[in-house]
Amino acid sequence: MSAFSEKTFDAELYSKFRPTYPEAFYDMILEYHKQTGGGANFLLDIGCGPGEASLPLIGKFRNLILTDMSPTMISRARKNCKVTIDKLVQQKASNPELDHTIPASIKVEQSASENLKKVIPKDGTIDLVIAAECAHWFDWEKWLDEMARVLKPSGTLAFFSYCDPIFLDEPQLNKIYDDFTYTNPKFIAKYWQQPGRNHLRSLNRKLNDALSRDDRFENVKIRYYDPTSDDPSMSNAKDKMTIRKTYTLEQFCNYVDTWSASHEWNNAHTEEGTTAGHEMFKLITQATNWNEKSQLTVDWRTVYAFSKRANY
């Protein structure tokens, strides 16, 4: 995860071009949380990045804590939270009946996910923990120990991820993507940090299995989604997390430059005056005759795991 912690990493680019989680998925989190007795006092967002996953939950909890290892991400998250809260205050002022809570406190701190003692010294404090697109970086044994410590009895642990864009409408791009990302040594394959990337590509199956075996957690719900086999309109995808985004080719290549491996590749090729995203742009335009305004739709493989802290 060190790429995201570097001062040269562009957190604004990350926030602008990364996919976001659908509103229906937040409804799923909150429904699971409330149905299993979860409270609304403290929300913790671990590995918060620029705050993308927790911003839609501002107004649902009285207190929020966001943590990340990257000072660059923390700085961006503080700005994004302030903007979101300012908007919420304005909305409440014009519509007092709005069913949202102005947070009593919001703390955005640099911290490792496996040791939150300085940020959350008291055990059994947190009602809901979310960890978006970051669990593959964690030391899982230590992290589950820390989650068991900070969560209240019946508190919710929800972690979720997406991996590898899939071009259902343009299948020829899938080979270009695989070659660029994992196969051709000319590009970014060797710049992925391991074993994190392989964990993500497996959709955190080893972590999910460990969670299922851990008797400190109960009511475990794990759902995998593969857009190549699960039809999002059918019942087999009803309770799964589906992420789809339409980019221009220029925007998609900006998204490519938000990957940690791309950041490291770019640092290694500064004298060439190019970026990983630009190299992807050249590969796609050579194969398709598209231009920067051409549109493409991307789906992602996803996973989420919900569980409750056992009440004992």
Evaluate whether residue 174 is within a structural domain.
no
For residue 2, the model assigns a pLDDT of 55
Residue 291 has pLDDT above 80, yes or no: yes
Please state, in angstroms and rounded to a whole number, the distance separating the CA atoms of residues 111 and 132: 16
Evaluate whether residue 277 is within a structural domain.
no
Number of domains in the chain: 1
- Give the confidence band of 236 by pLDDT, cuts at 50, 70, 90: low
Main-chain phi, psi angles of 178, to 5 degrees? -60, -40
For residue 232, the model assigns a pLDDT of 66
- Give the confidence band of 99 by pLDDT, cuts at 50, 70, 90: confident
Q: What is the pLDDT of residues 78-92, one digit of tens each?
A: 999 999 999 999 999
For residue 4, the model assigns a pLDDT of 52
For residue 311, the model assigns a pLDDT of 86
This prediction has a pTM of: 0.93
Evaluate whether residue 173 is within a structural domain.
no
- Give the confidence band of 230 by pLDDT, cuts at 50, 70, 90: confident
Please compute the mean of the pLDDT values over residues 5-22 and round it to a whole number. Answer: 77
Query: 42-46 and 63-68: which strand pairing?
Result: parallel
Evaluate whether residue 286 is within a structural domain.
no
* Mean pLDDT rounded to a whole number for the chain: 94
Evaluate whether residue 142 is within a structural domain.
yes
- Give the confidence band of 211 by pLDDT, cuts at 50, 70, 90: very high
For residue 233, the model assigns a pLDDT of 67
Evaluate whether residue 275 is within a structural domain.
no
For residue 19, the model assigns a pLDDT of 94
Which residues pair with residue 217 across a beta bridge? Answer: 309
For residue 14, the model assigns a pLDDT of 82
Residue 6 has pLDDT above 60, yes or no: no
For residue 221, the model assigns a pLDDT of 97
DSSP states along the chain: -HHHHSTTS-HHHHHHHS----HHHHHHHHHHHHHTT--SSEEEEET-TTSTTTGGGBTTBSEEEEEES-HHHHHHHHHHHHHHHHHHHHHHHH-TT---PPPSEEEEEE--TT--TTT--SSS-EEEEEEES-GGGS-HHHHHHHHHHHEEEEEEEEEEEEEEEE-SS-THHHHHHHIIIII-TTTTGGGS-TTHHHHHHTTTHHHHHHHHH-TTEEEEEEEEE-TTT--TTSGGGTTS---EEEEEHHHHHHHHTTSHHHHHHHHHTGGGT--HHHHHHHHHHHHH---TT-EEEEEEEEEEEEEEE---
Please compute the mean of the pLDDT values over residues 173-184 and round it to a whole number. Answer: 98
* Domain boundaries, position 89: 2-166+194-244+301-309
For residue 12, the model assigns a pLDDT of 80
Evaluate whether residue 295 is within a structural domain.
no
Residue among 77, 199, 75 nearest 139 (CA): 199
Please compute the mean of the pLDDT values over residues 136-144 and round it to a whole number. Answer: 97
Please state, in angstroms and rounded to a whole number, the distance separating the CA atoms of residues 42 and 103: 10
Please compute the mean of the pLDDT values over residues 9-38 and round it to a whole number. Answer: 90
Residue 96 has pLDDT above 60, yes or no: yes
For residue 231, the model assigns a pLDDT of 74
For residue 13, the model assigns a pLDDT of 87
Q: What is the CATH number of the domain that holds 34?
A: 3.40.50.150
Please compute the mean of the pLDDT values over residues 98-116 and round it to a whole number. Answer: 94
Evaluate whether residue 61 is within a structural domain.
yes
> Which region among 12-16, 39-43, 183-187 has the lowest average model confidence (pLDDT)?
12-16
